[in-house]
Amino acid sequence: MKHFLLSLLITTGCLAAGPEALLQSGLLSADIITVIKPELDLTEEQESRMTGIVTAARAESEPLEMQVKEQQKAFNQILRQPDSTPEVASAALARLMEAEAAVKQLQLRTLLGLRDVLTLEQQKKAVALAQPRQVKRADLETRVREKAARLRLAVQSLGVPATTSMVQRGSEVEALVKEGDLAAADAALDRLVVESQVDAPESPASLDFSTYDPGETDVETLKQRYQAVETAAQSVLSLPLLRQLIQARQALEEAKALEDAETVGRILTWAEKILGL
């Protein structure tokens, strides 16, 4: 989840400049060209050259994107260190910017390569056809980023790692962005917003486990029950439910410290019930 839609990938056509600046420069992203391709009367040779450019760019982008992620991670780690110096942080930032610059250079070369496949007449026609679509796409991209950021911040506010299901859904959205299918990514985020209940108000009420039957409370059985609950919790997407599970875990740890097997059992029974075990 922490990588939720942060990557700027070749197929989205995202450079530092906005869509209007790209259009004014005669640069068009691969996905926009794909949309307007039927109206450009491309030859088979032109289509083949464009496919080759995009395929090569995708292959070259993978290690560059990985380098950006690694440098971003290293930079964040340095910032979290209380004894990090400005010199060390500046050097890490410089390495991050260098990695990002390599990605932007590849993006620029790719866009220029695609432009140069077109004739001057096709370039003019493409810019005219693309302008409303490019602006609309920029609006869609903004919505996707805003929704992703809202979800990411909500998950981070829990103070625990994202569940396996959250990571998987986030990866699916990220893949759609990488493929340039922002409409599908936007729809997937809408579904995730509903399923995660990100807008549900936080309930201040404390959970009461005292009415639940403790079940089997021998040490080995409690360990097995706890592991089953932990595994099932990884499929949870609902943030309100995760907040309850976090509260239950805290209560369970307190009960464990007091060697109160009965209370541990009651908490596990509650968790088993809400997780459908």
**Whole-angstrom distance, CA of residue 11 vs CA of residue 3:** 18
Asked if 117 contacts 23 with a C-beta cutoff of 8 angstroms, the reply is no
DSSP state of 26: T
Q: What is the pLDDT of residue 26?
A: 54
The predicted structure's pLDDT at residue 29: 67
Confidence of residue 111 (pLDDT cuts 50, 70, 90): confident
Q: Could you tell me if 254 and 214 are in contact, meaning their C-beta atoms sit under 8 angstroms apart? A: no
Helices H / strands E in the chain, number of each: 10, 0
Q: Which residue has the higher pLDDT, 156 or 214?
A: 214
Q: What secondary structure letter does DSSP report for 259? A: T
What is the rounded radius of gyration, in angstroms, for the C-alpha atoms of the chain? 25
pLDDT: is 113 or 141 the higher one? 113
Query: Is the torsion defined by CA of 231, 232, 233, 236 positive or negative?
Result: positive
> Is the model more confident about 10 or about 37?
37
Which tens digit of pLDDT belongs to each residue from 73-109?
999 889 888 888 989 989 999 999 999 999 888 888 8
Cα 10–Cα 150–Cα 69 angle in degrees, nearest 5: 40
Cα separations (Å) of 32 from 42, 45, 129, 197, 235?
Answer: 14, 19, 9, 34, 37
H or E element in which residue 82 lies: none
Is 142:183 a contact under the CB 8 Å cutoff? Answer: no
Please check whether residue 194 is in contact with residue 239, taking contact to mean a CB–CB distance below 8 angstroms.
Answer: no
Q: What is the pLDDT of residues 120-145, one digit of tens each?
A: 888 888 878 776 666 677 777 888 88
**For 244-264, what is the mean pLDDT?**
93
pLDDT value at position 134?
A: 65
- State the residue for tokens 């964040």: 76
Q: What is the pLDDT of residues 202-217, one digit of tens each?
A: 777 789 999 999 999 8
CA distance readout (Å), 51 to 42, 104, 139: 12, 20, 26
Distance from chain centroid for Cα 46: 34
Helix (H, G, I), strand (E, B), or coil: what is residue 241? helix
Q: What pLDDT is attached to residue 242?
A: 94
The one-letter amino acid at 255? A
Q: How does the average pLDDT of the chain come out, rounded?
A: 83
Burial of 197 (0-12, 13-18, 19+ CB in 10 A): middle
Domain ranges of the chain: 10-196, 219-274
Whether the predicted pLDDT of 11 surpasses 70: no
Over 80: is that where the pLDDT of 58 sits? yes
273 has a pLDDT exceeding 90: yes
pLDDT given for residue 223 in this prediction: 93
First to last CA, the chain: 26
Mind listing the pLDDT tens digit for each residue in 157-205? 888 888 999 999 988 998 888 777 888 998 999 999 999 999 888 777 7
